[in-house]
Structure 1
Amino acid sequence: MAFLDTSNLKGDLFGGVTAGIVALPLALAFGEASGAGPIAGLWGAILVGFFASLFGGTGPQVSGPTGPMVVVFAGLYASLADNPTLVFTSVVLAGGMLVVMGVLGLGRYIRLVPYPVVSGFMSGIGCIIIALQLSRLLGHEPADTGTIPAMAAVPGALMSPNLSAFALGAATLAIVFTWPAKLGKFLPGPLAALIICTLAGLVLPAAPVLGDIPTGLPDFIIPSLTQDSLFVVLEAAIILAVLCGIDSLLTSLVADNMTRERHDSNRELIGQGIGNTVAGFFGAIPGAGATMRTVVNIRTGGSTKISGMTHAVLLLAIVLVLSPLASQIPHAVLAGILIKVGYDIIDWRYLMHAHRGPRWDLVLMALVLGLTVFVDLITAVAVGVVLAALAFVKEIADLQLASLESDTDDVNDAETADLLKSAGGRVMLFDFSGPLSFGAAADLGHHVRERSSNETSVVIMDFSHVPHLDVSAAKAVETIAEDANDYGRSLFITGANQEVQNVLAALDVTQLVPTDHWFTDRVAALRTAIAELDDPPAGAVPQPG
């Protein structure tokens, strides 16, 4: 198979050109919002877009600056504005981390982040983007960086708006929100707003504009680290790498659903890593797989990596020839475009239907959203994943405990049910239906103790469907065995595979169960137990009560 598939060359070229036109205003806007400047946004779209497509694992994926990546990068750029080299060092490191993650095969694990966490995180990013642009829409610049200072600046901007800027921003919002879909196939709404409102800005006085934009090729940056900034740079690199992985692989899943293909997640991480590494070396803002641009590419015919590379080449031609014209673009126009981007990132579909689903998922989503907006991104994701994992463990533990069969009404096997009935309640069978987790282990001993009665003489634990036992579950079995000895009950274990037996033996649990009380199937164990009831062994301890 050829490295570059030219079987759909016409569709790929058309899709790439269309995606490039869509990407142009977004790259300028993201570059301006990042603090590094519009040209850094364009070069980010070019370099990440080209190399991520060339080396990535999702055919029609179009990569470039995205809202989540820009939010993290903007915070880093604001904190280290006096030393841009350190900022782009973090981008280079993030790219290297992505390559390592792909080589180690971690792509499959990044996709395991629960949907409520992803939804809350992405919606929080959308809220941040909108909050950061509200003052700019009114012709003002927030006095400080961050979400809260940006929100605090809005009342002052409302009290003394720049009317020219506000008119241009309002017109931009009107265009991007109402642009007809039929026209969008030929001229995307964001690009139409950029052209129309920039031309209008030429006749409106006092609307702040981008100003001079550098032309030509970017300078090469040699990464460097200082002891004082080491933690900040490494933390930002980790956040950027994880964020890029999540953002890109979620977009890859969207592409898979549209094309009925299957992407290579680890190769995609490597491609994104190479793209971001190159971007960092040339002072460009980082990027990831961009959902909207990827969808546009697919819908207009793109299906292979040639389309993503074409998108980058088109932007390269624009930045080398047309960048002087971009100096007249008003800030308010880019702010309007970004507010639409933020609006689209918010998971409105889930928010509108969340009340019909599990209440916990809605609470988790809202918590992650709040942490994303008011604390920081890595805390939001970490807390969300941990809470989601704990909730899942609790749910599985409850199901495992609920699945224990302990009376004849719960037993499907007729022979087993007849034997239990003949025992008259003196034999209790506990059948585990799957792997025993540490979550179930906490209540396992109490559950067995609670379900057993004073009449119980024999407890049978059936491990036939338990492929694995962790240490917590083994300790719970030890507690059950000790309880059985204390109450003078016999404990039978049946169906335990070699791995389960090895875990129990390693913790000396097997010493608490006589060797003749181990069986391969529960019917044999039941028959032996009933025979023991009819002829109790010498020295048996009387039942309490």
Structure 2
Amino acid sequence: MKFDLSNVRGDLTGGITAGIVALPLALALGVASGMGPMAGLYGAIAVGFFASLFGGTPSQISGPTGPMVVVLAGLFASLSGNVELILTAVIVAGLFQIIFGFLGVGQYIRLVPYPVISGFMTGIGAIIIILQLGRLLGHEPPGGTLGALIYLPTALSDINISTLALGLGTLIVAYKWPPFLAKFIPGALAALIIGTLASFLLKGIPVLGNIPTGLPSLHLPVFDRSQLFLVLEAAFILAVLGAIDSLLTSLVADNMTRTRHDSNRELIGQGIGNTVAGLIGGIAGAGATMRTVVNIRSGGQQRLSGMTHALVLLAIVLGLSPLAANIPHAVLAGILVKVGLDIIDWSYLKRAHTGPRWDFALMLLVLGLTVFVDLITAVGVGVVLAALAYVRQVAQLQIEEVNRIPETFSDPEERALFKRAKGRISMFSFGGPLSFGAAADLGHHVREKVKHGSQILILDFSRVPTVDVSAAMAVETITTDAKASGRELVLCGANEAVQRVLENINAHQAGIRSFTTRQEALAYAVDKVEGPGPDLKSQSVPDINQ
């Protein structure tokens, strides 16, 4: 493993700063997952260290994140708090990510459309806030988003004013902490310290309680046949969301450092980190945008910064964990509400009404599915709908190209040849990759637009780099229609790949003339319609529309 030590001072400064920022978030996200604060710290240490060591984004800081915690909290509720099975899901998620990296999946994950990303990130932010509302009111709501929402009226009927004041105060400190002080103590850490000290003046405030200290123990994977599908499903969701979260953060890091990350290597590093996290009792993690930004702004650029961040947290675990026992749940809830609010895509929500309505509707659909169904369904449905919408747009453009029957040509010779035909030739010029999206209407549009009285039909493939089977079958339909109506079909401009597909799929390809250029096809067609033969005027030409 090659290390770049050209920026040691900046990397150490960035790593230490990021470690301090990560402390309250790791504790809060660990509690939110149901696994406890130490699981959050162990996850931050393992993922933070190994993702930096083996990953493909040198300046990235990894650790527990909102999307991963939302999945873990749901799994915790589904498995009735079975820690070993939850850790098994984390280990398997890491193995999935390693496989993703070796298979080169990283380049495809980045193709997820922005409205889908915006919708599920906003949904995750909403889920985090919903899950913390009960704790802010002094209650411990049941697991799950719907359970927390259903329980909310009960919590509102019996509000613990002290807990609410402490949580809101923590939230205000985290948001309003002066920037000049943030250079020395980050806002989240200041909110954690101030909130914890303030809790000593209040009575009846629930706190974390006894927290074990020292090095973690080893947790080998455990498989329960009755719960195997649930564990594998959660592991796959964790792997996919962690991959998306990490690669989005990698793009942010690229923009700030003017570098380019290796997406597949990043997935392998994240996978190793999550596998180790599960083995030592930590929760799953991913690339963390806020911590990465803090690291880069503090001077961190290379792998050493992320590894330093993890070692800072390890030192805290070994020496200061007893102090964390006095941290109130309300303080962590206030910090998590800020995390949720930061995840929500406010910038897009403010401008959504000015953009395409379909994109905004897709974003809202993914948001709703994320909150009320599950994350993988939300992303899957969003990607499929976005892809179908894109195919439809491309198909419309391709059909518009088909409808542009060329009355004029840029080439004078082609224009002269087409005029000589006097309407006895119909030509259709296809544009761009001819795909299944346009195939359904292709034959219909050609049938409608072909000229009455035309004897030869020319299909121009000069601007078509590829065709799929659906498009080739549509061409076969056009071929059948042309032969049935007594017209001759001529192809021109098809490259070798297009010609091969058409010949292999089109059962009626035999007898169809094909020319390299459009001018050659026009010259042949003109000679054909002007040549000797029966008196065309005395014959009725079958109408392709009949």
TM-score (norm 2): 0.97
Deviation track 1:218-273 (CA, whole Å, cap 9, x = no partner) reads 11111021210110011001100001110000000000011110000000000000
The alignment-based identity, stated in percent, is 63
Tell me, in whole angstroms, the C-alpha distance in 1 between the residues paired with 2:120 and 2:410.
45
Contact persistence 1:408–1:417 (CA under 8 A): no
Tell me, in whole angstroms, the C-alpha distance in 2 between the residues paired with 1:239 and 1:411.
55
Tell me, in whole angstroms, the C-alpha distance in 1 between the residues paired with 2:299 and 2:422.
72
Tell me, in whole angstroms, the C-alpha distance in 1 between the residues paired with 2:116 and 2:416.
49
* Change beyond 3 A, Cα 1:191–1:82: closer
Q: Which amino acid aligns with 2:472?
A: A
Deviation at 1:366, TM superposition (A): 0.3
Mapping of 1:275-286 within 5 angstroms? 275-286=273-284
Contact persistence 1:139–1:161 (CA under 8 A): yes
Aligned to 2:268: 270
Identify which range, 527-536 or 108-117, moves more after superposition: 527-536
Mapping of 1:339-378 within 5 angstroms? 339-378=337-376
Tell me, in whole angstroms, the C-alpha distance in 1 between the residues paired with 2:272 and 2:532.
73
Tell me, in whole angstroms, the C-alpha distance in 1 between the residues paired with 2:355 and 2:462.
35
Mapping of 1:13-412 within 5 angstroms? 13-142=12-141, 144-404=142-402, 406-409=404-407, 411-412=409-410
Contact persistence 1:69–1:244 (CA under 8 A): yes
Deviation at 1:538, TM superposition (A): 6.3
Aligned pair count? 541
Q: Which amino acid aligns with 1:85?
A: E
Tell me, in whole angstroms, the C-alpha distance in 2 between the residues paired with 1:504 and 1:537.
31
Aligned to 2:481: 483
Q: Which amino acid aligns with 2:259?
A: E
Identify which range, 410-419 or 179-188, moves more after superposition: 410-419
User: Is the aligned partner of 1:429 residue 2:450?
Assistant: no
* Change beyond 3 A, Cα 1:82–1:70: closer
3-state SS of the aligned residue for 1:459?
A: strand
Tell me, in whole angstroms, the C-alpha distance in 1 between the residues paired with 2:296 and 2:208.
32
Aligned to 1:514: 511
Tell me, in whole angstroms, the C-alpha distance in 2 between the residues paired with 1:355 and 1:59.
38
Deviation at 1:429, TM superposition (A): 1.4
Tell me, in whole angstroms, the C-alpha distance in 2 between the residues paired with 1:414 and 1:188.
72
Tell me, in whole angstroms, the C-alpha distance in 1 between the residues paired with 2:204 and 2:280.
34
3-state SS of the aligned residue for 1:81?
A: coil
Aligned to 1:526: 522
Tell me, in whole angstroms, the C-alpha distance in 1 between the residues paired with 2:464 and 2:535.
33
Identify which range, 73-82 or 6-15, moves more after superposition: 73-82
* Change beyond 3 A, Cα 1:285–1:539: farther
Deviation track 1:352-387 (CA, whole Å, cap 9, x = no partner) reads 101111111000000000000011111100100000
Deviation at 1:535, TM superposition (A): 2.1
Q: Which amino acid aligns with 1:463?
A: F
Q: Which amino acid aligns with 1:477?
A: V
Identify which range, 239-248 or 427-436, moves more after superposition: 427-436
Contact persistence 2:46–2:277 (CA under 8 A): yes
Deviation at 1:127, TM superposition (A): 0.3
Deviation at 1:45, TM superposition (A): 0.4
Deviation track 1:390-419 (CA, whole Å, cap 9, x = no partner) reads 001101111111123643456443432332
3-state SS of the aligned residue for 2:489?
A: strand
Identify which range, 6-15 or 524-533, moves more after superposition: 524-533
Tell me, in whole angstroms, the C-alpha distance in 1 between the residues paired with 2:475 and 2:432.
15
Deviation at 1:82, TM superposition (A): 4.7
Deviation at 1:120, TM superposition (A): 0.1
Contact persistence 1:481–1:513 (CA under 8 A): no
Deviation at 1:539, TM superposition (A): 11
- Unpaired runs of 5+ residues, structure 1, are none
Tell me, in whole angstroms, the C-alpha distance in 1 between the residues paired with 2:396 and 2:70.
40
3-state SS of the aligned residue for 2:462?
A: coil
* Change beyond 3 A, Cα 1:414–1:191: farther
3-state SS of the aligned residue for 1:23?
A: helix
Deviation track 1:181-222 (CA, whole Å, cap 9, x = no partner) reads 222222111110000010010121101111011111111111
